[in-house]
Amino acid sequence: MKIIGHRGARGLKTENTLASLLTASKLNIDAIELDIRVTKDRHLVICHNESLKDVYGLDKNISDLTLDEIQKIRTPSGDPILTLQQVMSQKFDKPLILDIKREGTADLLYNELGDKQQNHWLVNSLFPEELKRLKQLYPQLEMSLQTYKHPFRTIKTAKKIGASSVTLVLYLLNPLTYWRARKQNLRVWTYQNYASFLLTWPWLVKLLLAVYPSLTIVTDRPDKMASLKNKFF
């Protein structure tokens, strides 16, 4: 089993903030996931939702604001919205998974990162064309194609574009989807956004690992998942 901290350590700190990423980096996990969005003036910042209302209490969208405007915004606890460059300047001892949330991001990512730390980050996205473009720019890049519907079509597409994994929401994970992906030499990641506590239940985690032995779990509580991994292994 491998463990990925979702939006850093979302269940412990405000998602996608430096505090959340640093908290995740101190845990016994395998990677840290964070989300990338594009500002009005085409800079890359770390935020899951297009709207800033839920996390930052501001009824505005990322794509309607410039980077200068965004850098003035804070969470209620005082955390700023990070830029991708700020994240990449940090020294994390775990790979970063950059989750592309909008089409048209691949070339911007290349413009900002160039060949920087290719061995220390990988990409996840719902958008196969973004991954396809990134594979052209970074032939050795590891990628995961995400879906919340049409799992078999996604597995086929992932193989075609050169992805190394598929990311399936928990309700799509079953023996047919798992073993179809494994037969295509694709690793399987799973996540659960709206009932994330399910992936901290010991009996469920133990069952998942018995049925899906090489599963990667993306979790809001990487601390609990690391503890369960130590317990079961």
Handedness of CA 86, 89, 92, 97 (dihedral sign): positive
Residue 11 has pLDDT above 70, yes or no: yes
pLDDT digits (tens, 9 = 90+) for 152-181: 999 999 999 999 999 999 999 999 999 999
- pLDDT-derived band at 231, boundaries 50, 70, 90: confident
Per-residue model confidence (pLDDT) at position 119 = 63
Question: For the chain, what is the mean pLDDT?
Answer: 95
Average pLDDT over residues 18-26: 98
Ramachandran quadrant class, 108 (left: phi over 0; alpha: psi -120 to 50; beta: rest): alpha
DSSP string, 106-162: HHHHHHHHTTTTGGGEEEEES-HHHHHHHHHH-TT--EEEEESS-HHHHHHHHHHHT
Radius of gyration of the chain (CA): 17
Q: Which of 18-27, 39-48, 207-216 shows the lowest mean pLDDT across its residues?
A: 207-216
The rounded percent of the chain whose pLDDT value lies above 90 is: 88
In percent, how much of the chain has pLDDT > 70? Answer: 98
**In this predicted model, what pLDDT tens digit does every residue of 58-109 receive, in sequence order?**
999 999 999 999 999 999 999 999 999 999 999 898 999 999 999 999 999 9
Predicted local distance difference test score (pLDDT) of residue 116:
65
Q: What is the CATH number of domain 2-232?
A: 3.20.20.190
Domain boundaries, the chain: 2-232
Classified as helix, coil or strand, 211 is helix
Average pLDDT of the residues in 39-44: 98
pLDDT higher than threshold 80 for residue 187: yes
CA-to-CA dists, residue 29 to 163, 189, 221, 224, 227, angstroms: 22, 14, 11, 11, 10
pLDDT surpassing 80 at residue 233: no
Q: Is the pLDDT of residue 37 over 80?
A: yes
Residue 148 has pLDDT above 70, yes or no: yes
Bridge partners of 131, per DSSP, are none
